[in-house]
Every structure is written in structure tokens, then in C-alpha cells.
Amino acid sequence: MLIKKFYPAIAWLVLSLVLLCLPGSAFPKSNWFEVLHADKWIHIFMFGTLCFLFCNPIRLSTLKSDFKKRWFFYILVNGIAYGTIMEFVQKYWIPNRSFELNDIVADSCGCLLGVGFCWWMMNKEDVKE
């Protein structure tokens, strides 16, 4: 499998790292932002997209189904670990950012959705064949 198929995933990983490491003062302070829990939706989207972008080249590959599922699991676990680690990074090293357990939950939900969507697409394609 060619590494260039993972370029979008790697670019998204770098972008997410930059966004997660921005100081808290870089984000707008708005009441509606908190009321709508926009922060959590952003986390779900960011981590869902990340896991999808890593799973999709594997889904499209010629690897055996069992091997693909194993890689999906690795991507899921690493996505959740990345989200958890970044919360600790924000707590201890990023100014005006804090640790939020709900962010870890949102990150994990996003990872599950991203991997789950690829899993669903893969199984849908297997049924067609």
C-alpha cells in the first residue's frame, strides 16, 4: 500500500495537532458556543474525520477483510489514545487550556463514528460482491 494514499490523513493529523495545541486565548468566547456544546461537536468531527481518513485507504486496499478489520481496530485505539494524550498536553503545557473528560468522550465518539462508517462501507461492499 502506498504511503501517499495516507497523505490526507497525515495532513489532518498535523492540522488537528496544531488546533489542539493553540492556547485558549486563540478561541472566541461566546455564550452560544457553550450552550450548543459546539466544542464537543468539533471534537467529534475532528476525530471522526481523522479515523475515517486513516481507515479509508485500508478499506479500499486489496488486503483481506480480517487484516482490514485488525487495522481498523488499531486506528480506533490509537485515535482514542491520541485524544486522551492531547487532553493531558492541554492541561499541563498549553496556556489557558484545561483537561476535560467530556472532550475525551467526544474524541472517542468521533473515532468510533469514523471507524464505524468505514466498517459499514466495507461490509456494504462485501455484500455486493
> Over its length of 129 residues, how does the chain's per-residue pLDDT go in tens digits?
689 999 999 999 999 999 999 997 766 666 655 656 788 999 999 999 999 999 999 999 999 999 999 999 999 999 999 999 999 999 999 998 889 999 999 999 999 999 999 999 999 987 766
Rounded-to-integer distance, Cα 115 and Cα 78, Å: 11
At residue 24, the pLDDT reads 78
**89 grid coordinates:** 498536553
Q: Quick one: three-class SS letters along the chain?
A: CCHHHHHHHHHHHHHHHHHHCCCHHHCCCCHHHHHCCHHHHHHHHHHHHHHHHHHHHHHCCCCCHHHHHHHHHHHHHHHHHHHHHHHHHHHHHCCCCCCCHHHHHHHHHHHHHHHHHHHHHHHHHHHHC
Predicted TM-score (pTM) of this structure:
0.90
Instruction: List b or e across 81-96, with b for residues whose CB sees 16 or more CB atoms inside 10 angstroms.
Output: ebbbebbeebeeebee
Query: Residue type at 127?
Result: V
At residue 9, the pLDDT reads 98
At residue 126, the pLDDT reads 72
At residue 33, the pLDDT reads 55
